[in-house]
Amino acid sequence: MEALNQFAPFILIFAVMYFFMIRPQIKKQKQEKKFAQELKKGDRVITKSGLHGKIVDLGEDDTCIIETMAGKMKFERSALSLELSQKLNPAAPKKK
């Protein structure tokens, strides 16, 4: 029983870290992965670096071609920002 009392603070700290740090991060990663998988031609997106554009083609290798005012550029789907793209398209349903 005494050993349990010694480890109780560590268990409590881990539980707090899990619910306030680890779990939300895992949930956000799942949302971003789902967002990248559900992209389709014609979607207006913003990259994490702030580049605005419209998807004109989706590659099989997790890439997409985005048309901007400067021309067409190829990006990894992971470079697209879920939060910024949702702000750009307010009519699109929020990912939960």
pLDDT bucket at 48, cuts 50 / 70 / 90:
very high
Q: In this structure, what CATH number is given to the domain that contains residue 44?
A: 2.30.30.140
Within a domain: 40:
yes
Look at residue 77 in the predicted model and tell me its pLDDT. 92
Domain count, the chain: 1
For residue 96, being part of any structural domain is answered with: no
- Classify residue 13: in a domain, yes or no: yes
- Residue appearing with tokens 């702030």: 50
Beta carbons of 7 and 67 less than 8 angstroms apart: no
pLDDT for residue 95: 53
- pLDDT at 86 > cutoff 70: yes
The answer to whether residue 28 sits within a structural domain is yes
Q: What is the pLDDT of residues 6-31, one digit of tens each?
A: 889 999 999 999 999 999 999 999 99
E-assigned strand segments in 1-96: 44-46, 52-58, 63-68, 71-76
Cα distance between residue 18 and residue 94, in whole Å: 25
Indicate the pLDDT class of residue 80, thresholds 50, 70 and 90: very high
- Give the structural domain span for 17: 2-88
- Residue in 84, 90, 82, 45 with CA at minimum distance from that of residue 64: 45
Which has the closest alpha carbon to 36: 85, 1, 3? 85
What average pLDDT does the segment 70-87 reach? 92
Has residue 93 been placed in a domain? no
